[in-house]
Structure formats: structure tokens, C-alpha cells
């Protein structure tokens, strides 16, 4: 069975919800799925003062070497000034050994994100994640237009051909919508199906 890792960082829980949806989609695509998060690097007092969600439901990943155990790796991270946050970047920066050995070549990858606003850097953040995955040798699967929910302007919604997204509002009050979660499920399923085809 194809193995998929959904790896994310979430400050306020939006990416946690999106990770669950990506995982649901990957399972629907026939994969075995693990959901992990990267370690929090902000000092506890800073995280508390900023109101970070303390009860994240998924375990921290065992270490960078765990990435080699999967056929597909889907990375989710919120936007920090138009790029992935330092927590995710710090984790991925430890992958030099995997890169050097080619341990991730031929695997499938994807990205998903959250921003406060519609123009808060969703696509640049996705590309900051995708750039890492391409350097690792992964084949990227985005959120193709087979998912028609990302089209139209009838409601505020995320979605990009580069990956599933959600919009959190400036104070984090907006939660991922049904459309956004459906997009994450769609992308997860497509990633799992692509990984199965490549593994075969």
C-alpha cells in the first residue's frame, strides 16, 4: 500500500484542519496515511502571548530521516510574510543528508497553506514549499481544475492550482470552509493516486 505523510505546522489550528482533510483524501485514494507536525520553535511565552493553539492533535514527526519512509509527502504551513514560517523552514533545512543521498527522488509531493487575507501570499507560500520539494526530487501534484470548487467568486474561498488553501481572516476567526476542505481532500486523493501509479 502506498504510504503518504501529511506534514504540517499550525499556529491556530487552520492547517491542522486542512491536514486532516488532505489525509482523508489520501486515504480515499487508497493510501496509508500518517499525519505529523513539525516542532514548535517559538518560545513558550511567545506562543502563549500570541494565542497559539496548545492542543494540536497530531504527534511531532520523529525526525527528518522519517521523510524517506513515504511514497508521498504533503506539506502544509501558514504564510509568514509571503513565505513558509521559520518552524517549517528550520525542519526542512535539516534535510541535507536526504538531499545528498537522493533518498527522496521519485516520490510525490504537494503543498497547502493558509493566509489571513485573500491576497496574503498564498501562492508565494506554496511555491516556497514546492521549491524545497523540487530540490528533494519530488514530483509535484497541485490542486488541478478538476476541482471546480476553487472557481467563481460567489463566496470567499481559497484554492490555487498550486495547492489547497484557506483564508483565516486577520484575527484567525474564519475557519476552513466546506469548499476549502473539499479542495484539500481532492488534492490528497490525487497525490495518493499519483504516488500509487509511480510506485507501480
Q: Tell me how far apart the alpha carbons of residues 127 and 134 are, in angstroms, rounded to a whole number.
A: 10
The answer to whether the beta carbons of residues 129 and 77 sit under 8 Å apart is yes
Q: Quote the crossing angle between the two packed helices 178-199 and 14-28, to the nearest 10°.
A: 50
- Looking up cell 510506485 gives 199
Enumerate the known binding-site residues for FMN: 10-15, 79-81, 135
The answer to whether the beta carbons of residues 45 and 113 sit under 8 Å apart is no
Q: Tell me how far apart the alpha carbons of residues 52 and 150 are, in angstroms, rounded to a whole number.
A: 28
The answer to whether the beta carbons of residues 118 and 167 sit under 8 Å apart is yes
Q: For 5-109, where are the alpha helices, taking DSSP H only?
A: 14-28, 44-49, 86-92, 96-101
SS3 at position 130: helix
Enumerate the known binding-site residues for NAD(+): 12
Enumerate the known binding-site residues for substrate: 99
Enumerate the known binding-site residues: 10-15, 79-81, 99, 135
Q: Tell me how far apart the alpha carbons of residues 196 and 198 are, in angstroms, rounded to a whole number.
A: 6
Amino acid at each position: 500500500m502506498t504510504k503518504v505523510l501529511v506534514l504540517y505546522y499550525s499556529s491556530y489550528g487552520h492547517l491542522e484542519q486542512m491536514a486532516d482533510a488532505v489525509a482523508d483524501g489520501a486515504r480515499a485514494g487508497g493510501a496509508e496515511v500518517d499525519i505529523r507536525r513539525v516542532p514548535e520553535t517559538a518560545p513558550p511565552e511567545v506562543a502563549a502571548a500570541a494565542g497559539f493553539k496548545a492542543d494540536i492533535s497530531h504527534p511531532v514527526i520523529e525526525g527528518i530521516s522519517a521523510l524517506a519512509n513515504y511514497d508521498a509527502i504533503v506539506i502544509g504551513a501558514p504564510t509568514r510574510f509571503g513565505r513558509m514560517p521559520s518552524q517549517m523552514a528550520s525542519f526542512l533545512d535539516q534535510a541535507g543528508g536526504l538531499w545528498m543521498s537522493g533518498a527522496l527522488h521519485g516520490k510525490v509531493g504537494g503543498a497547502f497553506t493558509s493566509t489571513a487575507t485573500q491576497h496574503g501570499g498564498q501562492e508565494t507560500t506554496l511555491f516556497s514549499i514546492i521549491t524545497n520539494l523540487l530540490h528533494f526530487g519530488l514530483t509535484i501534484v497541485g490542486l488541478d481544475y478538476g476541482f471546480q470548487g476553487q472557481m467563481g467568486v460567489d463566496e470567499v474561498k481559497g484554492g490555487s492550482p498550486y495547492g489547497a488553501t484557506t483564508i483565516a481572516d486577520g484575527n484567525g476567526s474564519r475557519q476552513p470552509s466546506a469548499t476549502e476542505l473539499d479542495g484539500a481532500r481532492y488534492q490528497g486523493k490525487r497525490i495518493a493516486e499519483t504516488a500509487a501509479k509511480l510506485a507501480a
